[in-house]
Structure 1
C-alpha cells in the first residue's frame, strides 16, 4: 500500500523568503507524477570512506518507491550495500524534487510487480531498454534495487511553494 506523505514547510535560514503559513504548499499529487514521468534521475550515495558519489540513473516510480537495476559491481551499488542512505533528484534546478531514503536489493515476481515494473520501464523502449516481467525474478533479482522514501522536498516556484514531505514512520523532515 502506498503511503501519502505529510506536507509541511521546510526549515531554511532567514532571508530565503520561505512563507511561514501553509498556504501554497504543494500536494503529493502535484509532485509524484514528476517522479513517475521523469526519464533521468540523479542518485547520490556515500562511499565507504565518506566521500559523496552521484550517478545518473534510469528507473521507475511505482507504488510510492523508486525501482532501478544494475550490476552489483557498480560503485553506487557497492556504496549502498555498505550504507543504504541515498538521495534521488530530478534534473531540474528550478522545478525541484529531492527524495531521501534507503536503497535495498530486492526481486520482483513476473506475474505481479515484475509485470508492473516492465510496463513502467516502457518509457525507455525508444532507447533500446526493454526488460521483461521476469527480468528481476532470479535469485539475484537481476540487480533490482528499490529506494523507499523517508522524506522529500519539492518546489516549482521557489520560495512560495517550497514543501517538505514526511512519510509516516519513515523519518523526520528535510
Structure 2
C-alpha cells in the first residue's frame, strides 16, 4: 500500500483544532498502534441501514487489516452486501479510526499467508494461532481484508488530530 497523504479534518468551531500542520501525526506512529493492538471494533451496516458493531481480533499487515471468521456472521454478511466498514481501536483518548472496504479473500500459505500467521501469534496465549495455510483453500478460511480509504487519529486531542487519505 502506498503511504497516505495527511491533513487536518474539518471539525466544528470551538473544538480547538489548530489551523496549521504543526503537531500532526505521522502515519508510521498510527500504524504502529494498528499493528500492536489486540482488540479492534468493527462497524458495518445492516441491510435495513442500522449500524452493527462488534469486537474483532485481527492483524494489520502490509497496510491492511486481516481478520477471519465464519461467513455466516452478521458482520460478514453485512460486508458482503455493503463493504463499507469502520475499524477502531479500543482507546478513545488515543484514537485511531479507519474507514474502508471489507472483502472476502484468500492468501497462499507462502509469503503473505506466513506473514499474516506470524502476526496472529499475538493471540497464541488466548488459544488462537492459525497456520500459514489457514486461508489458502477455496473458501479462504473465512478470511476478510479491510483496505483503508481514510483514517483519522489523535493522541493528544485536539492539537494532533490528523486525517489520512489513500
**Deviation string, structure 1 residues 52-76 (Cα, Å, up to 9, x no partner):** 0000000000000000000011000
2:117 corresponds in structure 1 to 118
Q: Distance in 2 between matches of 1:3 and 1:48?
A: 32
Q: Distance in 1 between matches of 2:29 and 2:101?
A: 23
2:31 corresponds in structure 1 to 32
Instruction: Please list every run of at least 4 consecutive aligned residues from structure 1 whose deviation after the TM superposition is greater than 3 angstroms.
Output: none
CA-based RMSD = 0.4
1:100 corresponds in structure 2 to 99
Structure 1 length normalisation: TM-score? 0.95
1:64 corresponds in structure 2 to 63
Query: Alpha-carbon deviation of 1:130?
Result: 0.8
Q: Distance in 2 between matches of 1:158 and 1:139?
A: 45
Q: Distance in 1 between matches of 2:62 and 2:101?
A: 15
SS at match of 1:3: coil
SS at match of 2:22: coil
Asked if residue 145 in structure 1 is aligned to residue 150 in structure 2, the reply is: no
Q: Distance in 2 between matches of 1:97 and 1:3?
A: 19
1:44 corresponds in structure 2 to 43
**Deviation string, structure 1 residues 40-99 (Cα, Å, up to 9, x no partner):** 000000000000000000000000000000001100000000000000000001000000
Asked if residue 76 in structure 1 is aligned to residue 59 in structure 2, the reply is: no
Q: Distance in 2 between matches of 1:3 and 1:151?
A: 13
Structure 1, unpaired ranges of 5+ = 168-174
Q: Distance in 2 between matches of 1:165 and 1:113?
A: 25
Q: Distance in 2 between matches of 1:66 and 1:29?
A: 15
Query: Alpha-carbon deviation of 1:104?
Result: 0.2
SS at match of 2:75: helix
Query: Alpha-carbon deviation of 1:3?
Result: 1.4
SS at match of 1:36: helix
SS at match of 2:109: coil
Q: Distance in 2 between matches of 1:49 and 1:155?
A: 32
